[in-house]
Chain A
Amino acid sequence: MKLLLLEVWGFLQVPVVWWLFRRYARRDVTGELTAAAIVGVMWEMATEPLWDYNFRVTFYKDAPVAVVTGWMVMLTLIVYIAEKGYLKLLKKDRIARGDKRIFLFDVAAAALVALPMETAGAKLGVWSYRQDLLQWDWGLIPFFGMPWEIMAGYSLLMLIVPTFIRTWEGEFERDPGR
């Protein structure tokens, strides 16, 4: 029952987060969500054997649709929080193109958003790691009790993916008829 409710939440979180951004940040995140969905599909298909999922509605072997929706929400939040941190701490009014310091803020946002979401997903039983294959041995992150390799993986991912989202979010929101 718990997993069923979590899966339903997995689907609901996309319109909820979209509405929250619209309502409280006056921001259309359709483009971010769309770009993040592409990343989510790519990631889940590429790494499918490395995790065991426990949701019902799947799109490729046992990779669930509701996990892709999780990527959509997570990456949208990360890009937003990294941008806010960058603008606030560097006292800028927009992200300067080619400013490598954005990588630092993307990785920091991943630690603030992705790591807790990843931890929650694993601890709630949405997925489990195939430790017999992964053989992670760098130890555990204090408090979270999660393998350090996860944070390393997210940090590497955050070097690449936010660029994709920032590049395309505007285009994905543009009315092709205009």
Chain B
Amino acid sequence: MKLLLLELWFFVQIPLVWWAFRRFARRNVTGEMIAGTIIGVFNEFATQPLWDYHFRLNIYKDTPLAVVLGWGVLFTLVVHFSGALYRFFLKKDRVDIRDKRVFLFDVIAAALIAFPVETLSLKLGVWDYRYDLLAWDWGSVPFFHMPWEALFGYCLLMLVGPSFVRLWESVFEGERP
């Protein structure tokens, strides 16, 4: 029952986050969600054997549709949180997508947003790591009790993924870039 509710939540969060951005940040995040979902499709397809999922509605082997769509929400949150940090600390009014300092804020956003979401989902049983295959041995992140490799992986992904989201989000919303 818990997993069914979580699977429902994974779907419900999409319009909810979209609406929250529209209502409170006056932002249309349709493009960010589409771009993030494309990354999710790639990521889940490429790494499918390394995780065991426990949702019902799957699109490729045991990879759930809700998880793929969840990447859209996650990247939306990470990109906007990173952008907010960038603007605040560098005293800018917008993110220069070719400023290398944006990498730093993307990695921080990965640690502050993506990693807690990953931890929560794992602890709630949405997925399990195939530790027998991954053979992670760098130890655990304090407080989270999660493998350092998971955090490191997110940091690497957040070096690459946000550029794609930032560059294509307005195009996916049908606007001229």
Contacts and interface: CB of A to CB of B under 8 A. Distances in A.
B164 A160 contact: yes
B49 A135 contact: yes
Contact of B45 (A49, A130, A152, A161): A152
A100 B171 contact: yes
A47 to B, nearest CB: 6
B59 to A, nearest CB: 13
By DSSP majority rule, is chain B's interface helix, strand, loop, or mixed? Answer: helix
A49 B129 CA distance: 12
A42 B157 contact: yes
B163 to A, nearest CB: 5
A81 to B, nearest CB: 20
Contacts of B167: 97, 163, 167
Interface string A80-99: 00000000000000000110
Contacts of A97: 167, 177
A34 to B, nearest CB: 11
A151 B84 CA distance: 38
Interface in B155-177: 156-157, 159-161, 163-164, 167-168, 170-171, 176-177
Interface residues of A, number: 31
B133 A160 contact: no
Nearest to B157: A42
Nearest to B48: A134
A50 B45 CA distance: 12
Contacts of A170: 98
A47 B46 contact: yes
Chain B's interface size range is: 20 to 34
Interface stretch (B5-13, B20-28, B34-42, B87-95): B34-42
Contacts of B149: 45
A177 to B, nearest CB: 14
Contact of A159 (B42, B49, B163, B171): B42
Contacts of B39: 160
Given A38-B160, A98-B177, 15 more contacts: A42-B156, A46-B156, A49-B130, A50-B50, A97-B167, A98-B170, A98-B171, A133-B133, A153-B45, A157-B42, A159-B38, A159-B42, A160-B38, A160-B164, A168-B98
26 contacts: A38-B156, A38-B160, A39-B160, A42-B159, A43-B46, A45-B149, A46-B43, A46-B156, A47-B46, A47-B50, A49-B49, A49-B133, A50-B47, A98-B168, A98-B170, A100-B171, A133-B133, A135-B49, A156-B41, A159-B42, A160-B164, A164-B164, A167-B167, A168-B98, A168-B163, A170-B98
Interface of B: 38-39, 41-43, 45-47, 49-50, 61, 97-98, 100, 130, 133-135, 149, 152-153, 156-157, 159-161, 163-164, 167-168, 170-171, 176-177
Interface of A: 38-39, 41-43, 45-47, 49-50, 61, 97-98, 100, 130, 133-135, 152-153, 156-157, 159-161, 163-164, 167-168, 170-171
